[in-house]
Amino acid sequence: MKYFSTNNKGLRYSFKEAVIKGLAPDEGLFFPESIPHLGNDFFSRLPNMSLSEIGYEVSKHFVGEDITDTVLKEITRDALNFETPLVEVEKEVYSLELFYGPTCAFKDVGARFMSRCLGAFAKQSKRKITILVATSGDTGSAVANGFLGVEGVDVIILYPKNKVSEIQEQQLTTMGKNITALEVNGTFDDCQALVKMAFVDEDLNKKMNLTSANSINIARLLPQSFYYFYAWGQLKDKEKEIVISVPSGNYGNLTGGLLAKQMGLPISVFIASANKNKVVPDYLASGKYEPRSSFSTISNAMDVGAPSNFARMMEMYQKEYKQVIRDIKGAWFSDQETKHAILDVYERTGYILDPHGAIGYLGLKKHLRSNSAIGIFLETAHPAKFKGTVEEVINVDVEIPTYLKECLEKEKQSVVIGKDYADLSAFLLRK
Ligand SMILES: Cc1ncc(COP(=O)(O)O)c(C=O)c1O
Ligand SMILES: N[C@@H](CCOP(=O)(O)O)C(=O)O
């Protein structure tokens, strides 16, 4: 399989090149030159397949000869060693719980797969690889956890000062070893823009071997299709129409779902569920895409005003707006509505939503009108990561998983920088 840049289809790159570069030299995002349709045999075996088996069967089409079959099997077995259960919350409304990985967010799936692929490539490389990652809360800790102690790889996390939850910040800033946290005086979009500027800074790239572990990187994005197959495999009734709502910010998770659909997964509609940062729901309503500065909300990991993966969504639909709105509906909700959903679902069912999952739930309820459809929303993080907000709403203690508890006891270590590129490049050149 070869990859092209969303800015230029003329040049082709191997999986290994795309993973090591992260972003194409022309600042486009890497995209597979063809998307395989997985056959009936694969779909008939799905109900009995584990997440890691699905990961292997799907990714083998995308990695080409860059990773041997034996190594790819090891990578998927080792990376995807946790559950992603489908839990019925109400009649025909399911939560796909993606928070059983080590950092309690869906990012663990992609970060663990990518770290093992890059780890395999790093062994073949003489130069150290430096990963730059921008985070609005969850990507940073998942990437740090995935790459902690990996030889030949340094990780630098950029996160927006005062805009992530307390537990998220502890996760980002307490790893030590080969992980450094930069606290940026700005928004997530500023962090993402700084990272992209570093990739095209020629002087810096002569000195450092930089790559990205955001969903910009194809090895982070691809695994985000695996659990859609897993969810479908777990459904008892596969005859009904299936609608999936994805709480979205940078749109890597939704793009993973769209990839699964193009590979043949019978999902009738996706819902792009957003908070007040609603550039994509606005595009779906009007046909105009207008990235803008982001607002801070209680679903902070989705506070993105210029989502990276919009370029890939457009590539998939060849910018055909009518086709896009056939497959994707938009929805957005305020903090007040999010809190109300957390309380309402808790009181009626006992199920505890986190603020991101609550937006997914609301998007699903908005569009799931037909009784003949099954709805799934993605629960993208453990509610304990947003303990303060959730407990204030439901007035009940939310138990913190052991891993999260451990990082609360450690000391925060970060370097504060401004949002000017000069600050980041000076920091990197000093390293
Ligand atoms: C908990 C949580 N939910 C939803 C999102 C949004 O996902 P995406 O950026 O892939 O749209 C994120 C961040 O990416 C997140 O951390
Ligand atoms: N919400 C994300 C933002 C970065 O998203 P990514 O999937 O592109 O890495 C976060 O939690 O950091």
Number of the ligand closest to the Cα of 251 = 1
Atom number, ligand 2, closest to the C-alpha of residue 140: 12
Number of the ligand closest to the Cα of 363 = 1
The tens digit of pLDDT for each residue in 20-38 reads 999 999 999 999 999 999 9
% of the chain at pLDDT higher than 70: 100
Q: Is the CB of 29 under 6 A from ligand 1?
A: no
Residue nearest to atom 7 of ligand 2 (CA): 215
107 given a catalytic annotation? yes
Q: Which three-class secondary structure state does DSSP give residue 281?
A: helix
The catalytic position among 16, 21, 107, 163 is 107
CA distances in angstroms from 93 to 87, 255, 376, listed in the order given? 9, 22, 6
The domain ranges of the chain are: 83-105+224-399
**Amino acid, single-letter form, for residue 101:** G
Strands in 248-362 per DSSP E: 269-274, 328-332
- Interface pTM, i.e. ipTM: 0.99
Confidence bin at 126 (pLDDT 50/70/90): confident
Atom number, ligand 2, closest to the C-alpha of residue 224: 7
The alpha carbons of the chain give a radius of gyration, in whole angstroms, of 20
The tens digit of pLDDT for each residue in 411-422 reads 999 999 999 999
Confidence bin at 122 (pLDDT 50/70/90): confident
Residue 104 near residue 387, CB atoms below 8 Å: no
- Which of 141, 279, 302 has most ligand 1 atoms within 8 Å of CB, for mutation? 302
In the DSSP assignment, the letter for residue 400 is P
Cα dihedral 161→162→164→170 (10° resolution): 80
CATH number of 83-105+224-399: 3.40.50.1100
Q: Residue 415 forms beta bridges with which residues?
A: 182
